[in-house]
Each structure stands twice: as C-alpha cells, then as structure tokens.
C-alpha cells in the first residue's frame, strides 16, 4: 500500500436525516476528509444491500449507509428494514472475506452535523486501514 | 418406509379429480440415480419410491413448472399439484406459502418422515456406481445398499448427508397426508464447515472463497434447483440494470454468489440442493447455513416453519441487533 | 427513451462559497467532455434570476433536455431549478443536482481535493440524469368535508372552525355526550372561569351547527383511502333509546329498577347513576342511553314484568330492539382529538389510593368542588370512619409525571396550575384549613400563571419542596411521609385528605385510532407529530392532523390553539378542492412481479395491494401501487428480489450508474 493511499468511499444517505445532517455539517463549516462521495436516496430503506456489493465491485474501498435514528424515520420504519437487511449483508460479506472495516452503517440525524464528521472520519480511517480493495473488484468499470 | 403404503396413498391422491399430478421420486436409469416422477393416474403410482437416495427437493417443481400461455377459448388447468416431501422439503413448501409462491389450496402435501438421506457424491466415491440401477433402504440405524443383487450394510455416519447431520426438522412441518409414524429427531451436529471458515482471518477467508468462486462456471444450476429462487426474471440474468456482468471471472462470480446467497437470507430452508447440484463442487451450503444460523441466533427467526410468519426480509423487530452501527 | 439525452451542466460559484475551494472553471471544462453533455457553464449565482435565464436560454438554443446543476444542496434549491426548467419546457424531473457546496466546498479546505470531489459528484449526476424519466405532477380531487375524532374541547373547536368556514364536518364522539374532560372540570386556571360556563355554549353550537353532523356514542370503525379521499365507516352504537323521540325528561332514570346503582363516570364514580342515564345534566345531546352492561333487561332478558323505563316513557322512546348502525361517508381530511387518560394512581401503591377513601385524584377533586358535583361543591371526605370536612389537606404534584418508575418521563404541564387552583378553591371553601402542596418544581410558564401561583401562595397555602415517599394511616389521620428538601427535614405530616395531582397519559384505547390512521407514537407514547417544531399539528399520514392532548399534555388555551391550527391545516385541501400527489412514486413491472407481497408487508403507508392479472390466460397475483398513497421511500424496492417494484427517479437502473461513475472517477 502506498503511503499516500486515499480510500474511495461511497455513501448512501437518506434525504431526511443523514443527508440533511451532512448539509448541516457544511453549513456549520465542519471540515472532514474529501474521500467520501454521497449518493442521496429518499430513505435508508431504499438502499438495496446489493448496492454495497456493487460499490465494492465498482471501485469503492469502503461503503457507508446512513439513515435516521430508530424511531425517527421520515417514512416511519424504513431504517428498521435497512438495519436488518444491511446487518445480514455485513455478516455475509465478512464471511466471504470482505474486511468489516469496509462497510459501516450509522444513524445521523438532521441536527448531527458533528456526528456526521465523526462518522466520515471513522469510515475513512477504517477503509484506509483495510487498504485498497482488490477482492472482487471489477477490472473495467464503465458507466 | 412402507412402500406399499406410499404407493397406495400415491395412487389414491393421483386418482383424485382435483389433482393434476403427483410429484414423487422414482428409480433412475442407472446407478444411484433417482428421478422425479410425475404421476398422473393411479397406475403411475406403482413406480414411486422413497429411499435414502431421494435427496432431491421436489418443491422446486411447484414454481419451476412454467405457466404456459392458455390457448384462446381454453381454461387454465387450476387443479392441485400433489407433492411428496421430506422434512426439509416441507419447509420449502411452507416458505412458499409465506411468500405466496403457492396457495395452500393449490397443493396436496404428502409428508414422508425422513431418517436422513445419503450424500450422493460420497456414496459414489466409496461404492462405485453400477450400470444397473441400485437400491437403497433404511435398515434400523444404518443404510442398506443393494447393488447387483448384493446387500451391503453401511453405517449411517459414513454416508449421511451433511444437511441431514444438521437437520432439525426430519418430520414434515406441513402435510395433508403423513406416510407412517414420525421419525425420532436427533441432536443436530456441529456445523464444522461453517465454523472452519469463520475461524479463519478475513484475508484467509477471502482466499478460501476466491479458490471456490474461481471454479464457478456460472451454470446457474444452484439457482435453478433452489425451490425458493423462483423469480420468472432473475436480476442476475438481467441487462438493465446489470447487477452482474455475464463474463465468467472471479469478480462477477463472487458478485453472483453473494447476490444469490443474500437473496436467500432468512429464506433458505437448508435443503442443500444448491450444493448437491453444483458441478464445480463449491460448498454453497456453507454460505447458506452461515446466514441461516445468523438469522436464527441473532434475529430469532427461522424460515419455512410457520406459514403465517412475516417474511424475514420484509419485516423487522424494533430490537433487531444494531451492534454494528456506528 | 426515444430522445437522445442532451445534457446541460451548470456549475455555480455561489459568490465565493463554492469557488474558493472548488475550481469551478476546471469543473465545467471537465464536464464538457462527459458523455452526452452539450453545454457546461459557470455562473456566480445559478439560483438568481440571470442564472436561471442562462439555463432557459441554453435549453432553447441547444435543445437541451437534461439539466445538471452543481451548486448547493438539492434540499435547498431543487424546487427552484425544477420550476426553471419546466418554464423552459423541459420536464421538471429531468434535473439532477450535484451538491458541491454543503457537501464539498464548505467541508473541504484544499482546492485540489475540493475540485476533484466536485468532478466526481458531477460525473455521478451526469450518469444519473441521462437515465431519469419524465414524471407528471398529478392531482386528485379532495372531498370538501372533514372528520373530527373526539368531541372534547379540541374536537369541538376544530369542528366549529371548519364548519364555520363552510365545510361539512363529521364529529364523532365515543361517549354519549360531547364535552370531554373539560366538562368535568370546575374552574379553569388561571382566570377561574367556570369551565361549564365557557364550554357548554360551544357544545350546543357544535350540536346545532348546520354543517356539523354530530355522531355521539359512535366509533370510527374503518378508514380507507388517503388525503382528499378518506372513506370512513362509523359505528353508531345502539342507545336502546329512540334518538328522535327522547325528550331528555329523565323519568326513565328515576324509575329504573337498578336506580342509582352504578358509578357515574362523569363524577369519577363519586356518585351513582341508573342503567339508563344522561351522563350529566348539561349533556349534549340531551338524550338518554341505556348501559347494556348493567341494564337488567338487556343483560338477563327480564326486568320485572315489564321494564319500568318503557312503562314510564311518555314518548315510547325506549327500544330494546335497537341495533348498532353504520354510517359511511367520505372526507378530505381527518383531525384526531382523542384526548388523554388521567394517570391511574393505583400504579403508585405507596400513595394508598386503593386503600384509603380520603386519598383522591385531582379529577375527583374537580367534581368535589364543583357546585354541580356529587356534594354540590362541599369539600367532604370519608376518612374510613365518618364523613368529615377536612382540616388538614395535602396536595401532591407530579403523580405519574416526571416519574421513570411508572414509565412517564415527561411533565404533564397542567398539574402545577390545577393543583394551585384546587388549593385556591379549597381555601375558598375551608378558610381555616391547613393546606400543603408537596412539589418537585413549580412550573408556572403560561400567561398569568406566575401571577396566579403568587396569589395562591399568599392565600396561606404552604408549598413544601419534597416528593412524598409514602402515605399511611395513623389513627383516623393519614400521614404524608416526606423530606422537605429545602431544609433537609424529614416530615410526617398528619392530614385528613390527600389530593393526588395526577398527570396526563396517552389514552389506553389509542391503538385503535393509531392503526386505523397509520399513526405513530413519540417516546412518551402520545401521537407523534410530523415535525416537533415546524409541523406540530401534522402527522406522517397526509391529511391527518392532531389536536389537543392526543399529541401531548396541554392546558385548555394550548389545546384550543392547536385545535384551531389543526382546523386551518385540514382546511387547506378542502379549500383547494385538490391535493397534489407525489410524482416520485414506486411502480411495479407486472411482467416480472412474482407476487410474493414482500412490498405489501413493508409499505408503511399500505400503498401497495395485490391484484389479480391475466398473464397469457393464467390468473396471477401481482403488486400494484396506489400512487396517491405512495410516498416514494423505496423500502419496497430494496426488498424486491426481482427488482419488479422501483421508485421513480431512484430506480436501480439510475443508481447503479451513479455508483459506477464514482468508481470510474477514483
């Protein structure tokens, strides 16, 4: 691993809590690593667990999914479904040899700009620790 | 298993007006082969068997049989399908009921309490296959192999399939008719296959599965044989969007296998068919059983037991584990 | 997609908000080379009028059909740019925004990393925008009528406001009379108006209003549909009294064979009523009701030779054959004003409410001091031996509130003041009594509250700071065991009567309404509002609003204010006559749907149902989305094993290329 290796992180954020929380981090001028790219979805429940697999296959070194705290989901229960599905996915990925440091899930509310920063830092740090993902990376990625 | 009772019941069911056909097992054309029997009338029931060689889970056919277009002016045949099931197979039926893959009144389930079947690969390895069809029976605690008129007693432990060693439901959980008395359940063994993989560090696990998935020829047999993989249009076949490219390489093979296993999380009833049919001998059962065990231990859920259950992937509990959340 | 995507990319400087950490010109230059991009420009403020004109002009000149704006958060200006491109004739949903301000320039410091990240985010947006679909903003008609559940002060006020505005209102009340808890109160703090005097006129108004259909002794049985079009079914329970014939004379109750045998709910059980009864003299409607659980004839099929009530009723209003009736109607909006339950102090056995008759609740005190109450306003209690006029009175606050041991962490907001008010009323009636109030804190936050609290203290009412640990009997006295925490003195005060200032709790029967209307509970178990600050009367179910204590403890002015707020909100769809429905809804590919109904189990809005379709002569079940109910969360899609249900604008086919674009750009 080269000394200046920077992991590439893809994050899926729900529109109502975590995306708003990330916006708040911006409005509050909280600074965090630039390795993270956010894809906005309406609800963490929208995140098909296979997105995580797909992101790793397509060039991500780490993946983050973030939603509303339990009980706060804008759609009432989407985050509970996400928790169950992604918890299972994490078990599966670990079992087939994907470093658990490459996939994280978090609850970040619209008022937790600072928590968002911490979550990003932890995600990036862990992915950096795990090193560039070779695993089942696709050789040629195309969009 | 009382073959007479089996054939008598089979004949009665196959003869029913409201039954389209009965699905059971019959002897294959050579060696240890057992073939699915589609019995359409009472006479056909004479060829039915139930033996330690009947590994196949016939529940697959409930959804695999294609619904052909109905010619104009004709009515679709909505008669019931009768099906012979072992304990594990019956869980597939139950899970199909949960997922509305079938309706309860569309099937007649004939339960076969099952003392455990053999691992066919192991059997063929230790006792080479003959050209003539061979027979096998349960004999007390053991198996009895009849090849070329010669009887061989084989201990249960020697040939018992891994899925049976770990089986917790040898008796069908759903049935309309039960053939004979329930068998006595046994304490499921330790799942050494899963534990061995779990004991490795993460890099060694990746190495292990790299070796395995590298062998995958992407024949999709594991998917096709699975009673619960019954989407008419599988996302892993689809081009828009492309979840998995068609090229056969480690990356795509792994994605295919992860997606397949994940789709069965909380749904797999551990019949072991995927692993049995894999031409590349990939230990798919380990992945499925690992997930099934996590679903059981962490979420307190077991698929294919209660037809009224909420599907695992379409439900949640407020106190589902969340120790992995930052 | 027949039309080839022609993408216009607009990178905003946002003054220097973006351009100080992102080289916007470099980003635009980079964007020009991306597939399908025809134009890429920068501008100082894209959201400004000239910025929008720039986009519109390009759409016209270059025939652009897809727009990407790289600027601030879509949560900020997505509607602005949607409208702008719609004005220029492009479908408003052919827009994608790259958030390069809140999630890029504002959180990163180096211009290199800011620029590199902006390029990535932009690439992902271009990847997605090409695959978006045109969506139509639909509207459905709204029924100009409202349902109000619960006819306490909140429900009555909401109903009156909506009815006064000219809309039909169905006001449904579970008990035989409107009025709710407020009707049971004696005086109201801090002004000491008589509760009945200010409430009864409103009760009568509600009953007589030409636009209000009052359904008392009725319960909502079923609610189907969605904002603008709720189909409601109400069960009108049998009163066994002909509503039109009953004149409310009361002869029946006087003659009832089980006269005055049963606890009168309105008087908190302090008085007795007959099996046929009017809840209280001012009840609206003034119609008698037979209590089927206690009426001899209804219970046993026999009541003497003939039921007395039937014999004496001059208008032959008694009808034992009466059955529950169902009323069905359609409304555009629903207000939930189901109120609260007073805390049941049996759950704090240390206070001896179940053991000592002279330990009473605040609600019972209201009835005792009321001139129309069971004692005609005289404060008298039975101390186990005799009925006495108490000389020593103790009032305890925060009973069942701010108390984790009973599961209620919240403050009930009314107890401080009603306890003060009761102390004042007791002082009025018993000038020589010793009155003590045991408290944790005094929260006199409302208009006129602090002044009232001061006044009560000056009326020789002792406030003792301490939370009593126990009440027990000594001789014919009750002992309040407490530590005065201001002086650290343990006390054992002997008193004749204890009033427990019980708090407010969510109604025990709220689950029914919750399930009917798909509402949620907040951690305090009251109904959850859509947003605690900005949408306090709305719920997560569009078209359903909250009023009064159903949403949380409130005093009367707050309840009325919220009721008026809920009425105003509910009238928006009624007045418009139309409700917009979300365009970004889920859609089912019926050809691939396998009918497992996972999506049906998941959908929190019950927006998906299974329908039977004909697939080449075979009948198969597939899922179908009701667009008016779907909120587009997409939870269904993540569970669909065959990807057959997908939320528009957030389809897998639109998100996977975004993921790939971010990977390519690594």
Cα–Cα distance measured from residue B215 to residue C501, given in angstroms and rounded to the nearest whole number: 74
CATH (domain of A60): 3.40.50
- Three-state SS at A6: coil
Question: Considering chain C, what percentage of its residues have pLDDT values greater than 90?
Answer: 90
Does any CB of chain B come closer than 8 Å to the CB of residue C595? yes
Domain assignment present for residue A2? The answer is: no
- Nearest CA to C504 among C147, C161, C154? C154
Of A84, A99, A106, the CB nearest to B320: A84
**What are the b/e assignments for C236-263, b being 16+ CB within 10 Å?**
bbbbbbebeebeebebbbebbebbeebe
Q: What is the mean pLDDT of residues C144-165?
A: 98
Backbone angles phi, psi at C313, to 5 degrees: -70, 120
Are residues C288 and C241 in contact, defined by beta-carbon separation less than 8 angstroms? yes
Question: Is residue C1 predicted with pLDDT exceeding 70?
Answer: no
B306-325 residues touching A, CB cutoff 8 A: 312-318, 320-322, 324-325
Q: CA angle, corner C372, sides to C370 and C373, nearest 5? A: 60
Q: A45 is in which domain, residue-wise?
A: 9-130
Higher confidence at residue C651 or residue C518? C651
Question: Is residue C339 predicted with pLDDT exceeding 90?
Answer: yes
Q: What is the mean pLDDT of residues C345-352?
A: 97
Question: Is residue C666 predicted with pLDDT exceeding 70?
Answer: no
To the nearest whole Å, the CA of C7 is away from the closest chain A CA by 16
Interface A-B, measured as beta-carbon pairs within 8 A, has a size of 112
C153 to C159, C337, C346: CA distances (angstroms): 10, 9, 27
Contact residues on chain A for B313, CB-CB shorter than 8 A? 84-85
Domain assignment present for residue A142? The answer is: no
User: How many helical (H) and strand (E) elements, i.e. helices and strands, does chain B have?
Assistant: 12, 9
Asked if A46's CB is within 8 angstroms of C657's CB, the reply is no
**Per-residue pLDDT at C440:** 96
Does any CB of chain A come closer than 8 Å to the CB of residue B300? no
Cα–Cα distance measured from residue B259 to residue C547, given in angstroms and rounded to the nearest whole number: 48
Asked if C661's CB is within 8 angstroms of A143's CB, the reply is yes
Q: Which residue reads 């973030």 in tokens?
A: A66
**Per-residue pLDDT at C453:** 97
Asked if A78's CB is within 8 angstroms of C633's CB, the reply is yes
Domain assignment present for residue A22? The answer is: yes
pTM of the model: 0.75
**Per-residue pLDDT at C534:** 80
Question: Is residue C572 predicted with pLDDT exceeding 90?
Answer: yes
Chain A residue with Cα closest to B209:
A96
Asked if A142's CB is within 8 angstroms of C664's CB, the reply is yes
Please measure the distance between the N-terminal and C-terminal CA atoms of chain C and give it in whole angstroms.
29
**Per-residue pLDDT at A1:** 46
Backbone angles phi, psi at B84, to 5 degrees: -95, 130
Contact residues on chain A for B324, CB-CB shorter than 8 A? 87, 90, 100, 104-105
- As given in the structure block, the two tokens for residue C168 are 């039909």
Cα–Cα distance measured from residue B13 to residue C194, given in angstroms and rounded to the nearest whole number: 79
Does any CB of chain B come closer than 8 Å to the CB of residue C643? yes
Q: What are the structural domains of chain C?
A: 7-135 (3.40.50), 145-236+324-339+509-578 (3.50.50.60), 251-312 (no CATH), 342-505 (3.50.50.60), 586-648 (3.30.70.20)
Facing residues of C195 across strands? none
**Per-residue pLDDT at C328:** 98
Domain assignment present for residue A138? The answer is: no
By mean pLDDT, which of B189-198, C49-58, C414-423, C515-524 is the weakest?
C515-524
Cα–Cα distance measured from residue C82 to residue C96, given in angstroms and rounded to the nearest whole number: 9
Contact residues on chain A for C120, CB-CB shorter than 8 A? 37
Cα–Cα distance measured from residue C153 to residue C199, given in angstroms and rounded to the nearest whole number: 7
Q: Which residue reads 């892993």 in tokens?
A: B236
Q: Which chains touch B (3 or more CB pairs under 8 A)?
A: A, C
Does any CB of chain A come closer than 8 Å to the CB of residue B196? no
Q: What is the mean pLDDT of residues C589-603?
A: 94
- Three-state SS at A103: strand
Domain assignment present for residue A141? The answer is: no
Other Cβ atoms less than 10 A from the Cβ of B66: the count is: 7
Domain assignment present for residue A32? The answer is: yes
Asked if A97's CB is within 8 angstroms of B203's CB, the reply is yes
Q: Distance of alpha carbon C647 from its chain centroid, rounded? A: 28
- Nearest CA to B206 among A142, A125, A102? A102
Q: What is the mean pLDDT of residues C34-40?
A: 95
Are residues A106 and B326 in contact, defined by beta-carbon separation less than 8 angstroms? yes
List the single best residue of C617, C637, C653, C655 to mutate versus B (max B Cβ within 10 A): C617
Q: Which residue reads 């729900």 in tokens?
A: A14
Does any CB of chain C come closer than 8 Å to the CB of residue A91? no
State pLDDT tens for residues C516-543. Answer: 887 877 878 999 888 777 889 998 788 9
Q: What is the mean pLDDT of residues B124-147?
A: 91
Asked if C656's CB is within 8 angstroms of A47's CB, the reply is no
**Per-residue pLDDT at A73:** 85
Helix (H) or strand (E) holding A139: none
Q: Which residue reads 């395995």 in tokens?
A: B212
Q: What does pLDDT average to over chain C?
A: 95
Contact residues on chain C for A136, CB-CB shorter than 8 A? none
Q: What is the mean pLDDT of residues A76-100?
A: 95
HEC string of B29-95 equals CCECCEEEEEECCHHHHHHEECCCCCCCCCCHHHHHCCCCCCCCCCCCCCCEEEEEECHHHHHHHHH
Q: Which chains touch C (3 or more CB pairs under 8 A)?
A: A, B
Asked if B71's CB is within 8 angstroms of C639's CB, the reply is no
**Per-residue pLDDT at C271:** 94
Are residues C604 and A75 in contact, defined by beta-carbon separation less than 8 angstroms? yes
Question: Is residue B11 predicted with pLDDT exceeding 90?
Answer: yes
Please state the domain count of chain A.
1
Interface A-C, measured as beta-carbon pairs within 8 A, has a size of 149
Give one DSSP letter per residue of C81-143, joined into a string.
HHHHHHHTTS-TTSEEEEE-IIIIITT---HHHHHHHHHHHHHHHHHHHTT------EEEE--
Asked if A104's CB is within 8 angstroms of B326's CB, the reply is yes
B92 to B59, B83, B109: CA distances (angstroms): 6, 12, 12
- Nearest CA to C174 among C151, C153, C154? C151
Contact residues on chain A for C656, CB-CB shorter than 8 A? 51, 54
Contact residues on chain B for A57, CB-CB shorter than 8 A? 251, 254-255
Q: Is C306 exposed, middle or buried (0-12, 13-18, 19+ CB in 10 A)?
A: exposed
- Three-state SS at C483: strand
Q: What is the mean pLDDT of residues C89-95?
A: 96
Q: What is the mean pLDDT of residues C249-254?
A: 94
Chain B residue with Cα closest to C599:
B314
HEC string of B124-180 equals HHHCCCCCCECEEEEECCEEEEEECCEEEEECHHHHECHHHHCCCCCCCCCCCEECC
List the single best residue of B65, B76, B231 to mutate versus C (max C Cβ within 10 A): B231
State pLDDT tens for residues C601-639. Answer: 999 888 999 999 998 888 899 999 999 889 999 999 999
Question: Is residue A3 predicted with pLDDT exceeding 60?
Answer: no
Cα–Cα distance measured from residue C401 to residue C443, given in angstroms and rounded to the nearest whole number: 13
- As given in the structure block, the two tokens for residue B142 are 């053991």
Of A29, A51, A76, the CB nearest to C604: A76
Asked if B241's CB is within 8 angstroms of C598's CB, the reply is no
Contact residues on chain A for C79, CB-CB shorter than 8 A? none
To the nearest whole Å, the CA of A23 is away from the closest chain C CA by 5
Give chain A's contact residues with B (Cβ, < 8 Å).
49-50, 53-54, 57, 70, 77, 80-81, 83-85, 87-100, 104-107, 119, 122-123, 135-139
Are residues C26 and C113 in contact, defined by beta-carbon separation less than 8 angstroms? no
**Per-residue pLDDT at B234:** 93
Are residues B25 and B47 in contact, defined by beta-carbon separation less than 8 angstroms? no
Domain assignment present for residue A135? The answer is: no
Chain C residue with Cα closest to A142:
C660
C227 to C498, C537, C571: CA distances (angstroms): 48, 15, 12
Domain assignment present for residue A136? The answer is: no
């Amino acid at each position: 691993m080269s000394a200046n290796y920077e992991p590439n992180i893809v994050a899926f954020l729900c529109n109502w809590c975590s995306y708003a929380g990330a916006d708040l981090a911006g409005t509050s001028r909280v600074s965090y690593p630039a390795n993270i790219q956010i894809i906005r979805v309406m609800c963490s429940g929208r995140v098909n667990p296979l997105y995580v697999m797909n992101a790793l296959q397509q060039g991500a070194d780490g993946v983050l999914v973030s939603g509303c705290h339990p009980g706060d989901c804008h759609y009432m229960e989407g985050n509970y479904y996400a928790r169950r599905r992604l918890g299972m996915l994490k078990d599966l990925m670990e079992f087939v040899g994907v470093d658990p440091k490459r996939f994280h899930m978090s609850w970040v509310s619209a008022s937790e700009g600072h928590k968002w920063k911490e979550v990003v830092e932890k995600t990036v740090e862990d992915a950096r620790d795990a090193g560039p993902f070779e695993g089942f990376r696709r050789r040629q990625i195309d969009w | 298993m009382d073959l007479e009772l089996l054939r008598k019941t089979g004949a009665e069911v196959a003869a029913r007006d409201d039954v389209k056909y009965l699905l059971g097992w019959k002897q294959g054309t050579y060696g240890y082969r057992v073939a699915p029997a589609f019995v359409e009338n009472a006479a056909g029931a004479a060829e039915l068997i139930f033996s330690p060689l009947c590994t196949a889970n016939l529940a697959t056919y409930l959804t695999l049989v294609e619904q052909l277009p109905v010619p104009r002016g004709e009515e679709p045949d909505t008669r019931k399908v009768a099906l012979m099931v072992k304990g594990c197979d019956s869980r597939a039926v139950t899970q199909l009921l949960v997922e509305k893959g079938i309706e309860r009144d569309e099937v007649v389930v004939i339960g076969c309490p099952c003392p455990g079947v053999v691992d066919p690969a192991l059997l063929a390895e230790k006792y080479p296959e003959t050209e003539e069809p061979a027979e096998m029976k349960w004999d007390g605690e053991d198996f009895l192999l009849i090849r070329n008129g010669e009887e061989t007693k084989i201990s249960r432990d020697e040939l018992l399939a891994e899925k049976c060693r770990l089986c917790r439901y040898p008796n069908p959980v759903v049935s309309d008719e039960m053939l004979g008395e329930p068998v006595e359940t046994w304490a499921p063994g330790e799942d050494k296959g899963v534990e061995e993989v779990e004991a490795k560090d993460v890099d060694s696990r990746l190495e292990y599965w790299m070796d395995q998935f590298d062998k995958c020829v992407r024949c999709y047999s594991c998917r096709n044989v699975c009673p619960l993989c019954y989407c008419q249009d599988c996302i892993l076949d689809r081009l828009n969007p492309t979840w998995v490219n068609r090229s056969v390489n480690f990356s795509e093979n792994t994605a295919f296998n992860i997606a397949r296993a994940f789709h069965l999380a909380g749904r797999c009833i551990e019949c072991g068919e995927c692993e049995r049919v894999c031409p590349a001998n990939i230990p798919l059962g380990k992945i499925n059983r690992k997930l099934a065990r996590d679903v059981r231990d962490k979420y307190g859920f077991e698929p294919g037991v209660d037809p009224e259950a909420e599907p695992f992937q379409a439900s949640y509990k407020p106190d589902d584990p969340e120790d992995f959340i930052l | 997609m027949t039309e080839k995507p022609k993408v216009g990319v607009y990178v905003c400087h946002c003054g220097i908000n973006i351009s100080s950490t992102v080289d916007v010109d470099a980003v635009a230059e980079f964007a020009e080379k991306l597939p399908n991009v025809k134009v890429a420009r920068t501008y100082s403020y894209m959201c400004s009028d000239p910025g929008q004109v720039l986009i519109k002009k390009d759409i016209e000149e270059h025939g652009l059909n897809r727009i990407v704006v790289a600027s601030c958060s879509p949560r900020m200006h997505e509607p602005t740019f949607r409208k702008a491109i719609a004005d220029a004739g492009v479908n408003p949903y052919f827009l994608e925004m790259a958030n390069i301000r809140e999630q890029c320039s504002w959180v990163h410091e180096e211009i290199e990393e800011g620029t590199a990240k902006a390029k990535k985010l932009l690439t992902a947006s271009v990847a997605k925008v090409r695959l978006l679909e045109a969506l139509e903003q639909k509207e459905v008609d709204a029924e100009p009528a409202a349902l109000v559940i619960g006819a306490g002060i909140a429900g009555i006020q909401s109903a009156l406001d909506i009815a006064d505005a000219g809309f039909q209102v169905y006001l449904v009340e579970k008990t035989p009379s409107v009025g709710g808890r407020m009707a049971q109160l004696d005086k109201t703090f801090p002004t000491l108006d008589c509760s009945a005097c200010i409430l009864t006129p409103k009760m009568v108004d509600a009953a007589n209003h030409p636009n209000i259909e009052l359904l008392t002794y009725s319960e909502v049985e079923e609610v189907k549909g969605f904002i603008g079009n709720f189909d409601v079914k109400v069960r009108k329970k049998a009163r066994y009294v002909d509503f039109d014939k009953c004149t409310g004379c009361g002869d029946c109750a006087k003659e009832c064979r089980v006269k005055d045998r049963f606890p009168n709910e309105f008087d908190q059980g302090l008085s007795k009523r007959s099996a046929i009864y009017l809840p209280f003299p001012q009840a609206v409607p003034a119609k008698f009701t037979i209590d089927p659980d206690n009426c001899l004839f209804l219970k046993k099929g026999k009541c003497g030779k003939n039921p007395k009530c039937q014999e004496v009723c001059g208008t032959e209003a008694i009808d034992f054959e009466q059955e529950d009736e169902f009323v069905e109607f359609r409304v555009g909006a629903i207000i939930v004003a189901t109120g609260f339950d007073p805390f049941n102090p049996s759950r704090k056995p240390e206070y001896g409410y179940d053991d000592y008759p002279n330990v009473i609740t605040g609600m019972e005190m209201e009835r005792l001091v009321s001139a129309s109450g069971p004692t005609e306003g005289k404060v008298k209690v039975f101390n186990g031996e005799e009925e006495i006029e108490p000389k020593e009175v103790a009032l305890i606050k925060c009973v069942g509130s701010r108390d984790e041991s009973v599961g209620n962490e919240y403050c009930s907001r009314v107890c401080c003041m009603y306890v003060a008010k009761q102390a004042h009323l007791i002082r009025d009636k018993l000038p020589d009594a010793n009155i003590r109030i045991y408290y944790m804190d005094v929260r006199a936050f409302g208009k006129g509250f602090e002044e009232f609290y001061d006044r009560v203290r000056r009326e020789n009412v002792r406030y003792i700071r301490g939370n009593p640990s126990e009440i027990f009997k000594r001789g014919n006295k009750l002992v309040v065991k407490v530590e005065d925490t201001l002086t650290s003195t343990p006390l054992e005060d002997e008193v004749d009567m204890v009033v427990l200032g019980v708090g407010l709790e969510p109604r025990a029967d709220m689950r029914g309404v919750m399930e009917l209307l798909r509402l949620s509970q907040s951690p305090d178990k009251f109904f959850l509002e859509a947003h605690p600050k900005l949408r306090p009367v709305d719920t997560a179910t569009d078209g359903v609003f909250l009023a009064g204590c159903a949403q949380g403890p409130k005093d009367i002015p707050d309840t009325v204010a919220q009721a008026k707020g809920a009425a105003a909100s509910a009238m928006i769809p009624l007045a418009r006559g139309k409700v917009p429905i979300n365009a970004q809804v889920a859609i089912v590919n019926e050809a691939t749907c396998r009918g497992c109904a996972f999506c049906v189990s998941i959908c929190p809005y019950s927006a998906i149902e299974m329908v039977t379709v004909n697939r080449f002569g075979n009948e198969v079940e597939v899922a179908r989305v009701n667009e008016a109910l779907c909120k587009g969360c997409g939870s269904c899609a993540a569970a669909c094993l065959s990807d057959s249900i997908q939320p528009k604008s957030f389809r897998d086919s639109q998100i996977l290329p975004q993921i790939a674009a971010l990977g390519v750009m690594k």
